[in-house]
Amino acid sequence: MRFILLASLLCAAPVAAQSDWTTVQQPAIWLNTFVDHAVSTRTAFWFDGHWRRMGVGAEPQQLLLRPGVQVTLRPGLRAGAGYAYIATAPYGESPNAFPLREHRAWQQLSLATQLADVSLSQRLRWEQRWGASVVDGTLGTLQYQQRLRYAARAQRNLGTAVNGRALLGFVANEFFLPVGHSDAARKRLQNRAQIGLGVPVGARQRVELGYMHQWNRITPRETHEINHTMTLSWYWTARR
């Protein structure tokens, strides 16, 4: 919980310092899937996919596909790496001028621990990103960026669901920090704070419904973008 509060404070500082910027607030819907499927006692195939829409789903926002591999280093500690493809549309009240396409490599460490009846997880992810605009159907020159992401999540069982399996409640926060760029236009900060409920629907599956407060600092347009996002996520976990 301390990590979640710290990330929230890091987010609030630049907002306060740039109060003269334009602020836009808009609704969004994200449909997500997460697959964590063991292929050996220590190694697992990972995939997460995200279909993101603005408003009540009518306006496209982003498609993200992220396969990878995770390796258990010791109980609770895992290392992972993989690739991601991202297609972003001009969206919302402060849109990009053109659609964006991005190819991304990522590496991460994740740690899962237990504190009484609360399950805690933390993830530190490093990303190498190559992105460009699509103008008149032509992809421009890919520009390189790096980014560090830190996520923390706490969850606990809340009781018994109708199907006999325990409901869970969760809170989470993730902070994004661009690293090593002198170009201020690339220093786009982001923070995602979430709260929600999860329902196990089988030994390996669960569904989560949540609310996410997503904040983006869009430097070129001096805009704070706040997306009030409903999330619906499906998880598949098969461990050996």
Q: How sure is the predictor about 3, in pLDDT bands with cuts at 50, 70 and 90?
A: very low
Residue 174 forms beta bridges with which residues?
Answer: 151, 192
Q: How far apart are alpha carbons 199 and 170 in whole angstroms?
A: 11
CA distance 174 to 164: 32
Task: Using alpha carbons, select from 175, 226, 197 the residue that is nearest to residue 5.
Answer: 175
Dist CA 85 CA 66 (whole Å): 7
- Note the pLDDT tens digit of each residue in 20-64: 889 999 999 999 999 999 999 999 999 999 999 999 888 999 999
Query: Percent of the chain, pLDDT > 90?
Result: 75
What's the pLDDT score for residue 2? Answer: 47
pTM assigned to the model: 0.89
Judged against a pLDDT cut of 70, whether residue 8 lies above it is answered with no
In the three-class reduction of DSSP (H, G, I as helix; E, B as strand; rest coil), residue 92 is classed as coil
**Cα separation of 79 and 128, whole Å?**
17
Both tokens of residue 123?
């993830």
In DSSP terms, 18 is beta-bridged to none
C-alpha 122/C-alpha 153 separation (Å) is 7
Distance CA 140, CA 132 (A): 5
Sequence-distant (6+) residues with CB within 8 A of 138 are: none
Helix (H, G, I), strand (E, B) or coil at 201: coil
> DSSP letters of 134-192?
EETTEE---EEEEEEEEEEEEEEEEEE-TTSSEEEEEEEEEEEEE-S---GGG---EEE
Label residue 208 by pLDDT band (50, 70, 90): very high
Tokens of residue 61, six digits: 């926002």
**Run of H or E including 2:** helix 2-17
The DSSP 8-state label assigned to residue 128 in this structure reads: E
